[in-house]
């Protein structure tokens, strides 16, 4: 009986050590030149931002400005037709962007209990072929 108890304890100890070893290093990297095995790809559609993004996460989306909401707030529509409110900081010059122009925006997610929006830090016009 003692031998079974010792054997069970040894198996439990070995199992715990195996589970504590680093997991998930499969050769893929979310960041070029970064550590391997981390699947932390940022959301890249409005739908995925709304369902998966966390507050202050940096995201990049492609789409168009489709509606002016007041002050420095606009409606952004991605390539799939989903919309989200964005804020263009009034300290920057955004005059190179026009309504319905294909653009790529990069910004931080602003998520609270009742709403989600993106505080845009950078916007780049897309070439018409994209």
pLDDT digits 0-9 by tens, 85-110 = 999 988 899 999 999 999 999 999 99
When pLDDT is averaged across residues 67-74 and rounded to a whole number, the result is 94
Q: Are residues 51 and 109 in the same domain?
A: yes
Q: Are residues 14 and 55 in the same domain?
A: no
Q: Are residues 71 and 103 in the same domain?
A: yes
- Per-residue confidence (pLDDT) for residue 94, from 0 to 100: 93
Range of the domain at 63: 46-125
CATH code: domain of residue 74: 2.40.50.200
Q: Is the pLDDT at 5 greater than 70, yes or no?
A: no
- Per-residue confidence (pLDDT) for residue 125, from 0 to 100: 95
Q: Is the pLDDT at 116 greater than 80, yes or no?
A: yes
Nearest residue to 68 via CA among 57, 81, 77? 77
pTM, two decimal places: 0.68
The 10s digit of each residue's pLDDT in 55-69 is 999 999 999 999 999
Q: Is the pLDDT at 130 greater than 90, yes or no?
A: no
Nearest residue to 84 via CA among 59, 98, 124? 59
- Per-residue confidence (pLDDT) for residue 25, from 0 to 100: 47
Q: Give the model's confidence band at 43: pLDDT under 50 very low, under 70 low, under 90 confident, else very high.
A: confident
Q: Is the pLDDT at 13 greater than 50, yes or no?
A: yes
Q: Is 117 within 8 Å of 87 (Cβ atoms)?
A: yes
Q: Coil, helix or strand for 125? A: strand
Strands 83-88 and 73-78: antiparallel
């Amino acid at each position: 009986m003692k031998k079974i108890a010792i054997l069970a304890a040894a198996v439990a100890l070995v199992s715990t050590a195996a589970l504590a070893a680093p997991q998930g290093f499969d050769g893929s990297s979310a960041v070029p030149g970064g550590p391997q095995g981390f699947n932390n790809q940022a959301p890249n559609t409005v739908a995925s931002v709304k369902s998966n993004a966390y507050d202050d996460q940096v995201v990049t989306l492609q789409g168009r400005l489709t509606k002016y909401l007041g002050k420095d707030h606009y409606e952004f529509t991605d390539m799939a037709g989903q919309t989200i409110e964005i804020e263009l900081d009034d300290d920057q010059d955004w005059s190179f962007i026009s309504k319905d122009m294909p653009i790529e925006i990069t910004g931080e997610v602003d998520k609270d209990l009742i709403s989600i929006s993106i505080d845009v830090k950078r916007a780049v016009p897309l070439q018409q072929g994209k």
